[in-house]
Amino acid sequence: MPPFLHPTLLFVGLGCVAIPIIIHLLTRQRRQPIPWAAMRFIIEAYKRQRRRLTLEQLLLLAARCLLVALVAFAIARPLLSSVTAASRAARVVYILLDNALPSSLSNPDGTTPLDSHKQAAIDLLATLDPARGDRAGLVLLGAPVDPAVVPASADIPAVRRLIEQATPTDSAADLDVAFSRLAPELAAAPADTPPVTISLHSEFLAGSIDTQRKLAALPARADAPPHTILISPPRDTPVSNVTITGVEPLRPLILGNSPAGSQADDQVRVHLRRTGPATSQASTSLVKLRLSVPSSPRDAGADLASADAIAKWSPGDREASVIISIPTASLVDAGPSALIATIDRDAIASDNTFRRPVLARRAIQVALVTPPRLSLAVTIDRFEPADWLRLALSPQPGDSSPIRVVDLDPRAIAEPSALAGIDAVIAPRPDLLDDRAWTRLAEFASSTGGGGLVIFGTPPGARAHPWLDQLESKFSLRVPGDREASRPAEPLSLRPDTSAALLALLSPELAELVKPVRVMERLRLDAPTDPSLSLLTLSDNSPLLLIPAPAESVNAAAPSPRPVSRAAVLLFTAPFDLAATDLPARPLMLPLIQELVRQGVGGASASLASSAGAPIAAPPDAAVLAPIPSDAGPQISVSSAPFAPRRAGLWRVQDSRGSALSLLAANADPRAANTSTTTREQVRAYLAAALPAGTPDTQLAFTDSPAPSSNPTNPSQPAPDPRSPLPAWLLAAAALVGVIELALARVFSHARRLSPGLSASIAARNTSRVGARAAAPTTEHQAA
């Protein structure tokens, strides 16, 4: 017996065959005989017709049972592939299911493309017969690619359950990686085995395929038929969609100690992109922005501030941006927070929200490492490096200043509570630090210590600078160059060009600000190989301000230093002294120091953001990623490998003790949100590049095309329809049996088929009954 698509319905239907039998038996129950005068004539006639009547009853019973059985078989849907399996070889089918962001697109009927792809894949599985050696594999294309069933398995029901459980991701489809995962399996297939069929189910929107990226080549089959790729037809109905592609605060640190609008700290730029037919029309988009802080892992957080703005689209616009000012006048110290931007719901819901981790502070606490003095300098000629820095950090001291400066004795740094509540440390005299102080500063700059910012200056008046060795060893950094100060023959000027992100807000005015600055003495360090590490460069190409590069190797015998965040350490190669440079007295000094502290404190924090599907390296001490809110998903244990979320969301990064380290955000991949359609020619050309050279075009076909290559086993023969025609034939047979049963019931009816003797006896019986009823009133009257 062939397998059935719905075996349970088959058993229920076959059980219903007993219904006609039970009715037949109930109608044959014997009744108590009552003798009467004409009874013997009927009994004699019945004895003569008994065999014929029994045969008629059995024929009617068989017809009724066969009718119920045929209907049961039709409803259970026997699989035609299994009926014809004896005439073909085993098949291997790999189903590539596109569950990327475009698969969650909402259709007018409430369904999604993923629903259609899953049903098509299930119909394909229905054509496979494990008893004949058929196997199926499953690869989910949403990045990171999930090879759910690779190599192919003979457990077809398990593959079907995985397909039914597939959910859309917020990442892009990665067909190149999927082909790379399949290539070893295809290459390992013996030449005498049937070719493998790759069934690709996707809408092939512009966000689903990257035509600029070449696919991994599938292996060739020497002296054997090539593999076949079956393609679902691309979507031909365009859909409009608006995506939030980015949320960029001017600084990653949002301060709330100034009135709203008085500074740039509260300004956030939100970037939008639209695709589809709407690009030819004028429209508007309402953008809502809120600053939220998760108060605990169990709730979604409280909003500290919110604002909104309207982005206007002109016909033809595909990109738009809007600047929103967040009211932060009453902001409190909230720590790791998130800027969350939302727009109105459209075709794809997941890309209508964007999360950006930031730090929200009432003010920045900066520790200025300087020895205590009995009196402060009152004239510029008596200023020490710490005096210049204090003046640049807080030109108007007071509680309203967004940067608050505290003096810290170099000998007190090693105390456990010395750096409590401190966001940044500036050490203009690193030569005064002892070994314990260096160790404590390295811990402060590491992720364990909160990722604090440390800025080192060069001590004035010193010829040799051995403290650079301590900087390299304690912070695991590399500072190549001379360890002695040098004075050039002519004062050096500053180059106006810089690509540093820390100084991005100064770029428009930097060319004018650096013009009067001159440097007469500095450490002659080598220029970093990475230009982005040199924030300010002198005219001889040596750095004035740089980010020391991480060390390439560390002595294995020595204790491994804790990793330091990039941009957590800054180094000035010239002293903050007028004898070495006039920078402290120039207009560049104040905005330079202010911007380094504000950008550095926010950038040195361990807050992270990325797109769904892209790997994110969690902080070294992270142990658990707890979703916010907690019911948004399970907790994720952090391993040494980067974390690559498939869904957009917000996570709290916790260490092994459960303490919060930072926030991690993943957003819908904006590349995948492109809902523009592609043509069949584009899809065919894109996939044809993955086939080995010389592969016939017939090995690549769309599932709705009557191409010879539609047979997964033999491209030269048409494949059987996964929707078996047997149920239709069975229903037709059941209808025919029903008609025959009605005809037999009519023919076998005793009203029309009575023998002459039986008819005469029945007529005599009826005549006697009428005569008896007519005589009854007369008898009663006579009796009265």
**At 657, which CATH number?**
2.60.40.10
Same domain, 261 and 401: no
Residue 761 falls inside a structural domain: no
Range of the domain at 61: 7-78+728-748
Backbone angles phi, psi at 27, to 5 degrees: -75, -15
Which band of pLDDT confidence, cut at 50, 70 and 90, is reported for residue 728? confident
For the segment 222-237, the average pLDDT, to the nearest whole number, is: 83
Residue 36 falls inside a structural domain: yes
Rank 49-63, 403-417, 591-605 by mean pLDDT and report only the highest.
403-417
521: its two tokens: 């003495």
Burial class (CB in 10 A: 0-12, 13-18, 19+), 328: buried
Residue 708 falls inside a structural domain: no
For residue range 8-36, list pLDDT tens digits in order: 777 888 888 888 888 877 776 556 666 66
Give the list of residues 6+ apart from residue 700 with CB closer than 8 angstroms, or none.
228, 229, 231, 684, 687, 688, 691, 709
Which band of pLDDT confidence, cut at 50, 70 and 90, is reported for residue 552? low
Same domain, 150 and 262: no
Same domain, 452 and 386: yes
Residue 352 falls inside a structural domain: yes
pLDDT beyond 50 at 427: yes
Same domain, 28 and 73: yes
Q: Is 461 left (phi over 0), alpha (psi -120 to 50) or beta?
A: left
Same domain, 387 and 458: yes
Residue 759 falls inside a structural domain: no
Which of the pair, 600 or 220, is modelled with greater confidence?
600
For the segment 552-572, the average pLDDT, to the nearest whole number, is: 55
- Which residue, chain included where needed, has tokens 């079907």? 160
Number of domains in the chain: 4
Q: Say how many C-beta atoms besides its own lie within 10 A of residue 752's C-beta.
A: 8
**At 401, which CATH number?**
3.40.50
Backbone angles phi, psi at 460, to 5 degrees: -80, 150
Q: Say how many C-beta atoms besides its own lie within 10 A of residue 157's C-beta.
A: 9
pLDDT beyond 90 at 662: no
Residue 596 falls inside a structural domain: yes
23: its two tokens: 């009715």
141: its two tokens: 């294309």
Residue 584 falls inside a structural domain: yes
Same domain, 387 and 516: yes
pLDDT reported for residue 348: 93
For the segment 538-560, the average pLDDT, to the nearest whole number, is: 71
596: its two tokens: 């380094």
pLDDT beyond 90 at 301: no
For the segment 317-335, the average pLDDT, to the nearest whole number, is: 81
**At 209, which CATH number?**
3.40.50.410
CB 414 within 8 A of CB 436: yes
Same domain, 533 and 429: yes
Same domain, 170 and 67: no
Same domain, 383 and 483: yes
Domain boundary among the residues 685, 702, 719 is at 702
Same domain, 254 and 233: no
Residue 120 falls inside a structural domain: no
Which of the pair, 369 or 398, is modelled with greater confidence?
369
Same domain, 691 and 652: no
Same domain, 541 and 423: yes
Helix (H, G, I), strand (E, B) or coil at 451: coil
